[in-house]
């Protein structure tokens, strides 16, 4: 079934919460806008999406989401420029990745026009919730989960697709130090590491807590087999600058193909920065830190865009990175990306999407 924005039914809330929000002092992802998009999969097909007031979701205790974890999500943002025009950043890539995750977890794929027209209908309904204070945006969370019933270990026959939004400030604040993980693994060959599956993140919480107990904010995941190679930084892709070369790991079925990651590589190329997509040994990082050639490390993802890493721990030793770097790649790349997102600079790549 094809749908357009105007065909999506909208039930407006009678009690807006917007007047209680301080848009100049936003935390990340803890205040939710007035409406959400919902769409149910039943009898082998997706039903018509609709915008309804933000509300709890009622589920039967036998719903398969509780027992077998069929749950996937995306993270994206909406922005407002000085003319109050609404923009998104590479939303079709989010749709494509959501369906890659769906396929891997045996969830029915969501049609592109349901995703895009649903997003537009929701953003138009709650356009006043998109903040314009510096560094803020509307964080958008599309997700799909199993609602079908049964204790039998098999895919559900019913699902729910939801999009919610949260006006948000910065994801990280303060200095970020990471611990290189050698015991636990984020994902394994043949697994679901490339998918944005809820279980991937649940499995990270315990080893991350252990790192936090030692004074670190996040972990650097290593490969599941030898733990010799770095792979991701917390819930983000990781970049390393050695001398003037920017390095990142190749994607695989263990590593998420980040949209911010792809954007960074393209902008770096446009800036004439030498990049290499290859495996990076932990020992290479340690050696570069010791000889001074390790200039920068940063995580990259939708929530934080780019999060500089101040230092890393490995086998009871801490290695700090240079501070106040004059020609920081992290600063340059973040400025380039956010200028495109907020419609402050030319978008030569065609990434910016106008919500009309």
Looking up tokens 């939303």 gives 91
Q: Does residue 148 carry a pLDDT above 80?
A: yes
Q: Are 179 and 311 in contact (CB under 8 A)?
A: no
CA distances in angstroms from 212 to 179, 181, 230, 270, 333, listed in the order given: 9, 12, 19, 37, 28
Residue 157's pLDDT is 98
Confidence of residue 1 (pLDDT cuts 50, 70, 90): low
- Lowest model confidence (mean pLDDT) among 96-110, 173-187, 215-229: 173-187
190: left (phi over 0), alpha (psi -120 to 50) or beta: left
Residue 40's pLDDT is 98
Residue 324's pLDDT is 86
Q: Does residue 138 carry a pLDDT above 70?
A: yes
CATH 3.30.470.10 in the chain, residue ranges: 5-168
Helices 259-270 & 91-104, crossing angle to 10 degrees? 140
- Mean pLDDT along residues 279-300: 97
Residue 161's pLDDT is 98
CATH 3.20.10.10 in the chain, residue ranges: 177-340
Residue 331's pLDDT is 95
- Mean pLDDT along residues 230-249: 95
Q: Does residue 94 carry a pLDDT above 90?
A: yes
Please tell me the CATH code under which domain 177-340 is placed: 3.20.10.10
CATH architecture of 5-168: 2-Layer Sandwich (3.30)
Q: Does residue 144 carry a pLDDT above 90?
A: yes
330: left (phi over 0), alpha (psi -120 to 50) or beta: alpha
């Amino acid at each position: 079934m094809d749908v357009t924005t105007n065909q999506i039914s909208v039930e407006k809330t009678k009690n807006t919460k917007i007047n209680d929000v301080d848009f100049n002092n936003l935390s990340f992802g803890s205040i939710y806008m007035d409406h959400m998009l919902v769409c149910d999969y039943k009898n082998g097909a997706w039903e018509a999406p609709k915008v309804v007031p933000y509300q709890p979701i009622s589920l039967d205790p036998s719903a398969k989401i509780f027992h077998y974890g069929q749950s996937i999500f995306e993270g994206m943002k909406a922005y407002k420029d000085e003319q109050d025009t609404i923009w998104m950043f590479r939303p079709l890539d989010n749709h494509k990745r959501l369906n890659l995750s769906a396929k891997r977890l045996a969830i029915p794929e969501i049609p592109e026009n349901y995703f895009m027209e649903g997003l537009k209908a929701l953003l138009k309904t709650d356009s006043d919730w998109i903040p314009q204070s510096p560094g803020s945006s509307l964080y958008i969370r599309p997700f799909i989960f199993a609602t079908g019933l049964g204790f039998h270990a098999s895919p559900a026959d019913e699902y729910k697709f939801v999009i919610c939004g949260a006006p948000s400030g910065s994801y990280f604040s303060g200095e970020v130090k990471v611990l290189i993980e050698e015991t636990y693994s984020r994902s394994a060959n043949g697994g679901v590491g490339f998918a944005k599956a809820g279980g991937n993140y649940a499995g990270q919480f315990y080893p991350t807590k252990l790192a936090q107990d030692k004074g670190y904010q996040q972990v650097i995941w290593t490969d599941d087999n030898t733990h010799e190679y770095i792979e991701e930084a917390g819930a983000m892709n990781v970049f390393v600058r050695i001398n003037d070369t920017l390095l990142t790991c190749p994607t695989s079925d263990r590593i998420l193909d980040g949209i911010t990651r792809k954007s960074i590589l393209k902008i770096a190329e446009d800036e004439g920065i030498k990049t290499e997509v290859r495996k990076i040994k932990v020992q290479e990082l340690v050696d570069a830190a010791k000889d001074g050639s390790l200039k920068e490390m940063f995580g990259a993802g939708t929530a934080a865009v780019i999060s500089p890493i101040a230092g890393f721990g490995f086998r009871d030793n801490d290695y700090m990175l240079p501070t106040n770097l004059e020609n920081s790649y992290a600063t340059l790349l973040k400025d380039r990306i956010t200028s495109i997102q907020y419609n402050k600079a030319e978008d030569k790549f065609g990434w910016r999407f106008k919500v009309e």
